[in-house]
Amino acid sequence: MPALPERWSVVIFTARESAPVLAACVRAALRACHGHRYTIDILVNGNAALAQASTALLPALTDVGPDDRVRLWLLPLGDKAGAWNHYVHQLWPAADSTFFIDGYVEVEPDALAVLHRALQAAPTALAASGVPSSGRSAAALRRGMLAHGGLHGNLYALPAAALAAIRATSFQLPLGLYRTDALLGAALMYRLAPARHTWDQACIVVDPAASWLVRPGPLWSRAALRALWQRRLRQAQGELENRAAREHLSIRRQAPAQLAATTADLVGAWIAAQPDQARRLFLVRPLTAMAARRLRQPRDWSAAQAAPQLLAAQPAPAVIIL
């Protein structure tokens, strides 16, 4: 009897997408999983309306095989880092390769297979990343990733060994983090142990053959302009995150598992440790000062402890947890 193909797991993170955009993302992931046993987990964080609207999506997925699963989860906290933590430490179904996808992208039909083969060809690597192929900054991002390595949050893959190591060390992303892929990539470059390992770009394989499509939305609507402003602020916060992560991992050589629980505390510790650097950055990049002030505003993170709710599954389980 021929051996069954490796089992894959796919997690799709979504929060602000519309139900049709998310549906296109899921269908693209299904096409990319063809020929493999798989579990696809859709994590809707902080958007109950989107989660409810998406429950009709799963019964329409008639091509899900008897050995496969597609599950829709709702997390009350609207935070991607918190959703990542829940998936890795609670929901992950042990799999040979696990693919992380943002809910607004449509992966190319061969993208997952390309990343899976990249991991098989580099058994000591801890991750494989795709690269963007559309958008104004795609060409520059591709060149930068191919030259310097790293993860792209829209599409990357981790082997079972990397996820087992992350779980064993209890590494979690700080809540409120914007550049989840940058911090995770840096932790993996040090093999989760900066005190014992030097930075090794070979820990992450960047494969230009793995890519995805992002369908453009309206450019000049009021909502689009507001989203652009919010993205600029998040990018400024990301610059603070990068400096704080470098302080923790590269300068102090502390383990990723010792990172602060929240991004506010992580960035606050860097500002306290490097006040002159922070002041110079605030002068050159005023948006980073605004981002730092926003981070200092109190936020209730208690919802991060709430367990994910399984809203729907295909094939339908015997009991749905509500």
Q: Please give the average per-residue pLDDT across 94-123, as a whole number.
A: 97
Dump pLDDT digits (tens) for 44-78. Answer: 999 999 999 999 888 777 677 778 999 999 999 99
Dump pLDDT digits (tens) for 248-300. Answer: 999 999 999 999 999 999 999 999 999 999 999 999 999 999 999 999 999 99
101 close to 11: Cβ distance less than 8 angstroms:
yes
pLDDT averaged over every residue in the chain:
91
Q: Please give the average per-residue pLDDT across 241-247, as a whole number.
A: 97
Residue with tokens 């981790």: 158
181 close to 82: Cβ distance less than 8 angstroms:
no
Position 133 scores a pLDDT of 86
Dump pLDDT digits (tens) for 193-235. Answer: 999 999 999 999 999 999 999 987 666 667 767 777 788 999 9
Position 319 scores a pLDDT of 43
pTM of the predicted model, to two decimals?
0.93
From CA 237, how far away is CA 135, in angstroms rounded?
Answer: 22
Least confident of 76-80, 161-165, 190-194, 318-322: 318-322
Does 322 have pLDDT greater than 70? Answer: no
Residue 13's beta-bridge partner residues?
43, 102
The domain spans of the chain are 7-219+300-314
Does 90 have pLDDT greater than 80? Answer: yes
- Reduced to 3 states (helix: H, G, I; strand: E, B; else coil), residue 92 is coil
CATH assignment of 7-219+300-314?
Answer: 3.90.550.10
φ, ψ for residue 100 (rounded to 5)?
A: -110, 125
Sequence-ordered list of residues with C-beta below 8 angstroms from that of 17, at least 6 positions apart, any chain: 25, 50, 103, 104
DSSP conformation class of 310 = E
